């Protein structure tokens, strides 16, 4: 969940923006997993609202084993998030669906968010030539509530807004109704909507990125 902050980073080349499909594929048998993990973190920093929001410093020091775990398992995490995102997109008419990709990211605590929607690459509300990127930290939210945090970020994409105004309220209410998530009460203000739907935080956020949660608990 977020206290979303708009940002407009410098544009990247088109190929570097389309990353989700690649990072849903398993590593090859001869892949250097540590190098693959480092490459993934680099991609996240390129696409993040701010590069400093992507960090392992709060998880492991040195981060070597965590980077290797990312190289080996990140495709499974991204496949799960993509399945949740696809379910959310299916709730809308084709014309209402934003061009969007999703990636799992270890988000630094100082960012103050569990996920974010980076729409800084959109040329305008009616012309989306590149995908918006959603990033969520699956370590911060218990796996059963991943659909909630994905729905929140997707609602920003549908609303084409970083705030929590009328369009966001309409989008998140639609997603919550379609996905059997708690509906936001009509009286909820924008501040309260910035935490909707309610998601339970993991008591040990670092455990996920350290590979201490068996895949069966989140896959």
Burial of 204 (C-beta count, 10 Å sphere; 0-12/13-18/19+): exposed
CA–CA separation, 25 and 35 (whole Å):
16
CA–CA separation, 118 and 42 (whole Å):
16
User: What distances in angstroms separate CA 133 from CA 3, 27, 30, 32, one per listed residue?
Assistant: 16, 22, 29, 26
pTM for the predicted model, two decimal places:
0.86
Give the DSSP H or E segment for 118.
strand 115-118
The pLDDT value recorded for residue 7 is 37
Q: How do residues 106-142 score in pLDDT, each as one tens digit?
A: 999 999 999 998 865 444 444 444 688 999 999 999 9
Q: How do residues 9-56 score in pLDDT, each as one tens digit?
A: 444 444 555 788 899 999 999 999 999 999 999 999 988 888 999 999
The pLDDT value recorded for residue 29 is 92
pLDDT at position 87 over 60? yes
The pLDDT value recorded for residue 218 is 61
Residue at token pair 């994905």 = 150
């Amino acid at each position: 969940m977020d206290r979303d902050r708009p940002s407009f980073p410098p544009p990247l080349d088109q190929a570097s923006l389309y990353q989700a499909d690649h990072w849903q594929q398993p590593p090859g048998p001869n892949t250097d997993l540590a190098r693959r993990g480092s490459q993934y973190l680099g991609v996240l920093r390129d696409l993040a609202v701010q590069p400093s929001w992507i960090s392992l410093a709060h998880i492991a020091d040195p981060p070597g084993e965590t980077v290797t775990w990312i190289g080996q398992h990140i495709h499974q995490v991204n496949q799960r998030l993509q399945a949740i995102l696809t379910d959310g997109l299916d709730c809308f008419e084709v014309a209402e669906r934003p061009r969007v990709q999703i990636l799992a990211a270890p988000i630094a605590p100082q960012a103050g968010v569990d996920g974010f929607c980076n729409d800084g690459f959109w040329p305008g509300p009616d012309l989306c030539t590149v995908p918006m990127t959603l990033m969520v930290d699956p370590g911060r939210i218990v796996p059963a509530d991943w659909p909630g945090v994905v729905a929140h970020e997707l609602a920003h994409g549908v609303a084409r807004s970083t705030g929590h105004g009328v369009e966001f309220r309409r989008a998140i209410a639609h997603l919550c109704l379609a996905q059997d998530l708690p509906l936001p009460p009509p009286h909820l203000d924008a501040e309260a909507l910035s935490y909707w739907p309610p998601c339970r935080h993991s008591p040990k956020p670092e455990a996920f990125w350290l590979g201490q949660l068996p895949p069966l608990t989140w896959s």
